[in-house]
Amino acid sequence: MDIIFVVLMGGLWGSFANVCIYRLPKRQGVVSGRSYCPKCKKQIVWYDNIPIISYFFLGGKCRKCKKKISIQYSLVEFISIFSFFNIYYLYGITLTTLLLMILSLSLIIIFFIDLKHFIIPNSITFPMMALGFLKSFDPNLDSIFPNYILSLLGGLFGYGIIWCITFFYKQIKKKEGMGLGDAKLLSVFGFWFGLKAIPFVIFLSSAIALISVIPDLMKKSKTMSSQIPFGPYLIIGTLIYLVFENNLTNLFL
């Protein structure tokens, strides 16, 4: 029964994540008004808004206007279910599980917003910074979380290092480099996972970003100065760090 509940919560919160992904960049309230079709603006009835199931039942189209619905909605819901299930599987019914579910949902929202709009909302990063630091005062949480000293140092270092990169890049190139949204997101990871996580996250995310743009550089569809959303790479780098934390730490430290 616990697993069924977790899956249902993952789907429902994934549906809420879709609302945030669509509305936050438009500066619309995420809790004001029912969900509606982005094409015809008609309200979506509850039985057409069941996570994943409704999408396939409707054939990926709006019941009213018959326009195609983006597969992204179901993808977000699936990722949310998958992350909730895995967190529960690893940590059971604990406060650590609740905290990681909140963080995972926030990162899903940030990932898809930054991927499309090249922005990382302060309305998500600021609360995640605060929560990441406050939870570090609880000594009974899982060892994945640092104490409040390492949490504070991680948050400050995460923000500071990207701020410095951005500042010096602007002085040299006379144009903007990385955005401070990336600095705030890296600060979130510092507050949540401590000082030692930051170097690994920066290295992993930078390497993955470089590898991903090499085909475009070879085709000359992008240059080294082309803008890319770095938030998703920071998120992927952090996930890799968390999965291989012990191995990475033993290898380099």
pLDDT average, residue stretch 21-36: 82
Rounded mean pLDDT, 228-239: 94
What is residue 117's predicted lDDT score, i.e. its pLDDT? 92
Half-sphere exposure of 192 toward its Cβ, with a 13 Å CA cutoff?
27
CB 67 within 8 A of CB 58: no
In this predicted model, what pLDDT tens digit does every residue of 154-191 receive, in sequence order?
A: 999 999 999 998 888 777 776 666 678 999 999 999 99
Taking 90 as the threshold, does the pLDDT of residue 12 lie above it?
A: yes
pLDDT at 31 over 90: no
For residue 87, give every residue at least 6 positions away whose Cβ sits within 8 Å of its Cβ, in sequence order, or none: 97, 100, 101, 104
Report pLDDT digits (tens) over 76-98: 999 999 999 999 999 999 999 99
Q: How high is the pLDDT of residue 124?
A: 97
> Domain residue spans in the chain?
1-93, 119-253
Q: Which of 41, 36, 128 is nearest to 73 (CA)?
A: 36
Position with higher pLDDT, 11 vs 26? 11
Q: What is the pLDDT of residues 115-154, one digit of tens each?
A: 999 999 999 999 999 999 999 999 999 989 999 999 999 9
- % pLDDT > 70, the chain: 91
CA-to-CA distance for 95 and 177, rounded, in angstroms? 38
Give the pLDDT score at 192. 98
More confident residue, 139 or 45: 139
119 by Cβ neighbours in 10 Å (0-12 / 13-18 / 19+) ranks as: middle
Give pLDDT, residue 223: 61
28 pLDDT exceeds 60? yes
CA 145, 75, 202, 251 dihedral sign is: positive
Q: Is the pLDDT of residue 224 over 60?
A: no
* Reported pTM: 0.91
Check residue 109 and give its pLDDT. Answer: 98
